[in-house]
């Protein structure tokens, strides 16, 4: 069943794969902000403020988790996720916490596509070392029916951790995203 929401969505690029799949059915107006802005919270905040100002008379739904610390004021009319990060929302809090307790590094197509753009030289080595020190495995989520990112082999070899490839639970994501979009 096709369904249209008159919603403007601002989302983190890290969830572009699953949001685009969801959007095939719901026809939303989605603007993705670059994933790299996570590493520059002040720039991210400026971008979001520009969007809020430009669209001050429209309802906007932000698909950003609380990993974007302090970006949203509780008193405004804009809707945002009340989750730690995007994967907490996409996978569900219970599954996300279970994977974190298992020391999993959760990733997906969008992150793997850009992972070596964010860091270079010593920063990249430090990121790898920190990941290996804190994580015991990589869990790669993908849209059902899609293949892994072409850069996935390079990614897993660089981090040298065991990995598992899983499909997103699209029914779970759809149910929770629709619920979020129906908020008044």
Same domain, 79 and 96: no
Same domain, 102 and 71: no
Rounded Cα distance between 163 and 148, Å, is 12
What is the DSSP code string of 119-143?
--HHHHHHHHHHHHHH-SEEEEEE-
Residue 1 lies in a domain: no
Same domain, 74 and 104: no
- ∠ Cα 47 111 128 (to 5°): 110
Could you tell me the CA-to-CA distances from 73 to 42, 69, 76, 181 in Å, in that order?
Answer: 15, 11, 6, 19
Entry pTM: 0.84
Strand order in the sheet with 8-12: 29-33, 8-12, 60-63, 79-80
| Residue owning tokens 């008193």 | 75
Annotate 37-47 with b (16+ C-beta within 10 A) or e (fewer).
Answer: bbeeeeebbeb
Residue 149 lies in a domain: yes
Domain count, the chain: 2
- Which of 7, 113, 114, 23 is closest to 58 using CA atoms? 7
Rounded Cα distance between 56 and 50, Å, is 10
Same domain, 132 and 80: no
Rounded Cα distance between 6 and 116, Å, is 36
- Which of 10, 30, 43, 61 is closest to 181 using CA atoms? 61
Same domain, 109 and 81: no
Same domain, 79 and 110: no
Same domain, 39 and 97: no
Residue 3 lies in a domain: no
> CB-based contacts of 120: which residues, under 8 Å, 6+ apart?
none
Residue 82 lies in a domain: yes
Structure token digits, residue 144: 């059902």
Name the CA dihedral angle for 72, 75, 80, 81, rounded to a multiple of 10 degrees: 90
Which pLDDT tens digits describe the chain residue by residue (184 residues)?
A: 555 667 788 888 989 999 999 999 888 889 998 887 877 778 888 888 888 788 777 778 888 776 655 555 554 556 666 677 888 889 998 999 999 999 999 999 999 998 877 777 788 889 899 999 999 999 999 999 888 888 999 999 999 999 999 999 999 999 988 888 887 6
Residue 150 lies in a domain: yes
Same domain, 67 and 99: no
Phi and psi of 89, rounded to 5°?
-75, -50
Same domain, 81 and 128: no
Expressed as residue numbers, the domain containing 23 is: 8-88+170-181
Same domain, 62 and 117: no
Same domain, 174 and 142: no
Same domain, 177 and 157: no
């Amino acid at each position: 069943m096709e369904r249209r929401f008159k919603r403007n969505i601002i989302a983190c690029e890290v969830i572009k794969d699953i949001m685009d799949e969801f959007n095939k059915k719901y026809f939303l107006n989605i603007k993705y902000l670059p994933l790299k802005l996570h590493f520059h919270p002040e720039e991210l905040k400026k971008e979001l403020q520009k969007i809020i100002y430009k669209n001050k008379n429209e309802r906007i739904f932000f698909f950003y988790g609380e990993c974007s610390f302090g970006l949203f004021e509780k008193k405004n009319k804009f809707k945002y996720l009340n989750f730690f990060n995007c994967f907490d929302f996409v996978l569900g809090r219970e599954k996300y916490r279970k994977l974190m307790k298992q020391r999993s590094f959760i990733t997906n197509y969008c992150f793997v596509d850009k992972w070596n753009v964010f860091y270079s030289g010593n920063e990249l080595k430090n990121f790898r070392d920190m990941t290996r020190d804190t994580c015991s495995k990589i869990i790669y989520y993908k849209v059902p029916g899609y293949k892994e990112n072409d850069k996935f082999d390079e990614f897993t070899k660089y981090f040298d951790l065991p990995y598992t490839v899983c499909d997103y639970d699209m029914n779970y994501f759809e149910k929770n995203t629709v619920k979020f979009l129906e908020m008044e």
